[in-house]
Amino acid sequence: MITVGEAVSSQYADLVAGGDIFYFQWEQDLLNWFQGFHNPILDKINVFVTTLGDKGIFWIVLTLMMLLLCGTKAWYSSDHKTLKTFIFSHQKQIAWASFFALVLSVIIVNIVLKRVTVRCRPAWILEPMNHMLVFADDYSFPSGHTSASFASAVAIFKNNKKWGTPAIILATGIALTRLYLFIHWPTDVFVSVFIGIFCGLMGARIAKKIQNKYNNEKVSID
């Protein structure tokens, strides 16, 4: 009889063969500590929360909604009902900040670092693999879920602390689920938090510069 752990190991054999295995002992110890909390209720909660970060979909949808709603509100409240007003209004700075932050996160994490490091996930090579409730077929470092979540959340927080606080809390929850579910090393998550913060701050800065340029153009026209 093939165990779940053996099935996981077999499924990812090619990725393990083509990747690198490196981790600290304390990382394995911390992951094993998280495994002690497993129960059916927490498993379902963690799977649901981590799913919000899949491919950054929650943050992408949130950003698109902010772009649309904030732009529409600005357009209706403005005396200058132009396409530029809809796109570059002050109300949309928070949305553009999140947008640019997510783009930076994807470039740094998914396009560059994951392809360079090819770090094998803990669930592919360590016991207890049978606790892996979410299957992942890309390499481990850094955590795209964590980076994208903190990138968007920090960008939002920089522009609106009332909205940003729950966003930061959710981003933290998503990051912790990656450890609970045994699919990321702690250093994957820790480094990704800082990458996300960097992307969030840079996204906010880029959005602010665009907003300032739009305001200057608006003043010169008026």
Of 2-6, 58-62, 191-195, the poorest mean pLDDT is in 2-6
**What's the pLDDT score for residue 133?**
63
The answer to whether residues 134 and 50 touch, using CB atoms and an 8 Å cutoff, is: yes
**What's the pLDDT score for residue 7?**
46
What's the mean per-residue pLDDT of the chain? 82
Q: Which residues contact 89 (CB under 8 A, 6 or more apart)?
A: 70, 71, 74, 75, 78
218 pLDDT exceeds 60? Answer: no
- Mean pLDDT for 200-209 is 92
**What's the pLDDT score for residue 220?**
45
* Of 19-33, 74-88, 131-145, 188-202, highest mean pLDDT: 188-202
71 pLDDT exceeds 70? Answer: no
- Mean pLDDT for 12-18 is 78
- Range 164-173 contact pairs with CB under 8 angstroms and sequence separation of 24 or more: 170/49, 170/52, 171/146, 171/196, 173/49
**What's the pLDDT score for residue 164?**
93
Give the start-to-end residue ranges of the domains of the chain. 45-77+87-122+136-215
185 pLDDT exceeds 90? Answer: yes
